[in-house]
A and B are shown apart, each in its own frame.
Chain A
Amino acid sequence: MSVESPETLHALRRSVAALTVGVPGDSRLVSFGVDSLDQALAGGLACAALHEIGPAVPLQSGAATGFTMALIARTLRERGQAVWIQPDFTVTEAGALYGPGLDLMGLSTERLVILRVPRPRDALWAMEEALKCRAVSVVVAEFSREEADLTATRRLALAARAGGGLGLILHPNVYGSRLRSQPFCRHPSTAMTRWEVASACGARDRFGGLGPPTFVLSLVKNRRGRAGQWRLSWDHHERAFTTSLSLPVAPATRDGSYRKALLRDEPPRTQRRIRAG
């Protein structure tokens, strides 16, 4: 059967989408502002659907959290509220959300409501309720892969579809080495996309200090396009992702020259140079 026109194809896609859970027809898309990534996602991260995020390396829950915050900040750009659901266990295990850090990622604490639940099961219930509420733009819940089974994610996807918000499941401290033997992408769930996040090393600013948060994003599952890997920096002022070039890792300095890496002496000189030029 040949496809006659893009419109026909589009109509067919929509009718298929209407039958399938988790693939809403025309929902809002949250664009990354990075062409290759947006193309892979067919325009951007789809709202009214569920997405999974986890750290690529066990201890790097900070990177996954930072990426999630960046996504929320981008989604809430114009309006809306976000709800972040944390079971008590993940708070002790991976740390609590920290307000000043939140702000420094471009996500105002005023736009975020945090719910602490005693058990992971409660997080499922709360997430479903929050997703159904159309006043909530983003719902994040942290729970492990065991909790987010097919039934649970199916319910959540339906709720997200009803409410129109962006549903994010953040696996606080998962895969790691076991991931390699048992591919994460085979873990059944109805999520639209699944991301593994690691922080890229060697991101430096122009003075040689620690650079902006930089993530190595692996899109390991994508129901609307291809998978792939990207290295993006997050600019919290503009709330924008930028592609960052791989820079050589600065050598670890143990001879006291670290002081030079700090910016105490550098800015005036650099600025003078800029002015001269």
Chain B
Amino acid sequence: MDDAAQSLGLRPGMPLADARAMYPTLAIAESDEEADRHLINAVADWCDRYTPLVGLAAPDGLMLDITGCAHLFGGEAAMWRDILVRLADQGLHARAAIADTVGCAFAVARFGDTFLVPPGSARHALAPLPMAALRLAPEIVEALAGLGLKRIDDIIDLPRAPLAARFGEILVRRLDQALGREDEPITPRLPVPSYVAEQSFPDPIGRERDVLGTIARLAARLEAAMERRQDGARFLQAALFRTDNKVYRIEVGTGAPVRNAALIARLFADRLAVIGEACDPGFGFDIVRLTVLVTEHSDPMQRGLGQKGGMRDEFLQDGFGCLDDEVAFSHLIDRLGARFGPRRITRLVEQDTHIPEFAVTALPAHSARTPPLTHNHRIWLGASSPSPRLPSGRLRPSLTGYGEGRGEGAFPQALTRGEAPSPAPTLPSPACREGKGGGDLSPQSGRGEKQDSLSPTRPVRLFGWPEPVEVIAEVPDGPPARFRWRHVLHEVAAAEGPERIAMEWWHDTDGQKLTRDYFRVESREGLRAWLYREGLYDDATPAPRWFLHGLFG
């Protein structure tokens, strides 16, 4: 519906047949809701330049909370004009109104003709408007119209209880919201930042160096502000407002609270280096804004007491590592994360499952536990002392030691060092003697004595997709005699197994997952591989397949 159509008397919501009957030569285009949504989001992004609190009033409106912002643009009237002029420059026809309440602004913008409602005169502005201006469902509007109540004026002074009883509570609530008797918050599209610093330019800037320089200056301003409140940034965003209505947002996360402006600027430099082409300056940016979206308390820290200072030595002796090194390491992870994405830099964290491929998961290095940099002996998992820098309330993955009896089969205790007084060697468990169910080296027998006999039971490299191999093996559960992997035939010189690993039936709803028998095999050339047979020889799987799952060191 463009201006020309409106001047012909066509209205939105009109049946197409009627419109065609009036003007047979009418040009018609399908409505594209996706594109509309895209446009309104783009405009909302752009409106960020006026206030950080921009809410969507679906499907075709925006709600801006300009409390405390108007004076930056020379007052409400000037701001209103500025918005409309700039939108018109972009080819968008918009109606805007400024009022005390969300409801009133909505009503006046859509149905009114005085667009600047002075404070306290919402009632006066609303009175002459039609009932639909109250954001009511069409049925209610019709029902009211049937009673002759067409303008807001008609119901504004009516007794509330009968109105609510007859038309639902929504009517009274909308009226109260429009008049400011009831509070109605705007739900901002984007998280509201804790700290904001921005710089606008009369002449747009386009060079990367200028942008980075601006970010560094803004970061210095934020540093001072954060220092006062002893906060550190964990998540930062730089918004670059291009002159032609496009907004780029560059986000950077850090592992530890950061205040230092130079560090922040460097993170953004790394990030920009990757984004590069995707962030096209076009005719330049006229506003650069740096916001801190997530903060964390960070005590002022005294650092750099020399390489061999008393404090540092104390830390080393306590086993907490050097603070400077920790900061340097944390910053390295931040930078690598900024460049490649935080999901690509990970630590392996053990999971409480016996399924080999899920026994370990890669968590982003910063959400995983940061261990102290120094250690003198093996610390195993949950029992170890908490890291001095562990942020409270952060995600702490469940950690389970291999040593503490897994659900299935036997996992060697090769991991835990025999610190307890050595118990007498025990017999292998019955399960092992039967030759089923994890029947390899009995882990219990080795505890406390010198464990020279254990070869690793888990490979060093694991294939994400186990590779199918052709295997010749004794039926039903013998180890492979030879196998062909990647077109090469390997003769098996020695094998250990089977280690039977059943799938987790409590997760497996359709019963499709098969039990696996794992074998550790060594070929005549010395290749050590982890093979498994998927399924047992029975009715369900007459010909089970073999896979190579990993390689040993």
> A258 CA to B491 CA in the complex, in Å?
15
Stretch at the interface among B102-110, B241-249, B366-374: B366-374
Those of B480-527 within 8 Å (CB) of chain A: 481, 485-486, 488, 491-497, 520, 522-527
In the assembled complex, the CB of B82 is this many whole angstroms from the nearest CB of chain A, namely: 43
| Cβ-defined partner of A209 (8 Å) among B441, B451, B456, B493 | B441
Contact A129 B460 (CB under 8 A): no
> A135 CA to B372 CA in the complex, in Å?
12
A interface majority secondary structure: mixed
> A97 CA to B550 CA in the complex, in Å?
10
In the assembled complex, the CB of B338 is this many whole angstroms from the nearest CB of chain A, namely: 11
A181 CB–B CB distance under 8 Å = no
Counting contact residues on chain B (CB < 8 A from A), the size range is 35 or more
From known contacts A67-B553, A111-B371, infer whether A101 and B340 are also in contact, taking CB-CB under 8 Å: no
Contact A104 B414 (CB under 8 A): yes
Question: Which residue of chain B is the closest to A95 with respect to CB atoms?
Answer: B461
Which A residues are CB-close (under 8 A) to B433?
264-265
> A263 CA to B481 CA in the complex, in Å?
19
From known contacts A113-B345, A113-B347, infer whether A81 and B329 are also in contact, taking CB-CB under 8 Å: yes
Contact A252 B481 (CB under 8 A): yes
B295 CB–A CB distance under 8 Å = no
Which A residues are CB-close (under 8 A) to B425?
267, 271
Contact A97 B461 (CB under 8 A): yes
B221 CB–A CB distance under 8 Å = no
From known contacts A199-B528, A263-B440, infer whether A258 and B478 are also in contact, taking CB-CB under 8 Å: yes
Stretch at the interface among A16-24, A145-153, A200-208: A200-208
| Cβ-defined partner of A201 (8 Å) among B325, B375, B464, B523 | B523
Contact B460 A102 (CB under 8 A): yes
In the assembled complex, the CB of A110 is this many whole angstroms from the nearest CB of chain B, namely: 4
B143 CB–A CB distance under 8 Å = no
Which A residues are CB-close (under 8 A) to B348?
97, 99, 102, 109, 112, 114
Contact B464 A66 (CB under 8 A): no
Contact B350 A99 (CB under 8 A): yes
Contact B464 A96 (CB under 8 A): yes
> A264 CA to B329 CA in the complex, in Å?
47
| Cβ-defined partner of B456 (8 Å) among A129, A213, A261 | A213
B336 CB–A CB distance under 8 Å = yes
Contact B374 A115 (CB under 8 A): no
> A211 CA to B461 CA in the complex, in Å?
18
Which A residues are CB-close (under 8 A) to B257?
none
Contact A101 B456 (CB under 8 A): yes
Stretch at the interface among B174-182, B205-213, B357-365: B357-365
Contact A210 B479 (CB under 8 A): no
Contact A133 B347 (CB under 8 A): no
Contact B459 A101 (CB under 8 A): yes
Which A residues are CB-close (under 8 A) to B203?
none
Question: Which residue of chain A is the closest to B337 with respect to CB atoms?
Answer: A115
Contact B360 A109 (CB under 8 A): yes
B333 CB–A CB distance under 8 Å = yes
Which B residues are CB-close (under 8 A) to A210?
455, 494, 496, 520, 522, 528
From known contacts A252-B492, A258-B479, infer whether A78 and B376 are also in contact, taking CB-CB under 8 Å: yes
Which A residues are CB-close (under 8 A) to B328?
133-135
Contact B494 A254 (CB under 8 A): no
Question: Which residue of chain B is the closest to A211 with respect to CB atoms?
Answer: B455
From known contacts A78-B376, A104-B414, A252-B494, infer whether A94 and B461 are also in contact, taking CB-CB under 8 Å: yes
Q: Which of B440, B453, B486 is packed against the most chain A CB atoms within 10 Å? A: B453
Interface flags, A63-91, vs B, CB<8A=1, else 0: 10111011000000011110100000001
> A103 CA to B479 CA in the complex, in Å?
26
Question: Which residue of chain B is the closest to A98 with respect to CB atoms?
Answer: B462
A227 CB–B CB distance under 8 Å = no
Which A residues are CB-close (under 8 A) to B331?
133
Contact B526 A112 (CB under 8 A): no
> A60 CA to B321 CA in the complex, in Å?
37
In the assembled complex, the CB of B52 is this many whole angstroms from the nearest CB of chain A, namely: 34
- For this complex, 22 residue pairs linking A to B, each with C-beta atoms less than 8 Å apart, are A65-B461, A78-B374, A78-B375, A78-B376, A91-B464, A99-B348, A100-B350, A101-B459, A110-B371, A114-B346, A130-B336, A133-B332, A203-B455, A209-B453, A210-B494, A213-B528, A236-B414, A236-B456, A252-B491, A256-B474, A258-B478, A264-B433
In addition to A65-B551, A209-B453, A264-B428, 10 A-B residue pairs with Cβ atoms within 8 Å of each other are A67-B553, A69-B460, A79-B321, A95-B459, A116-B340, A130-B336, A133-B331, A201-B525, A265-B433, A271-B425
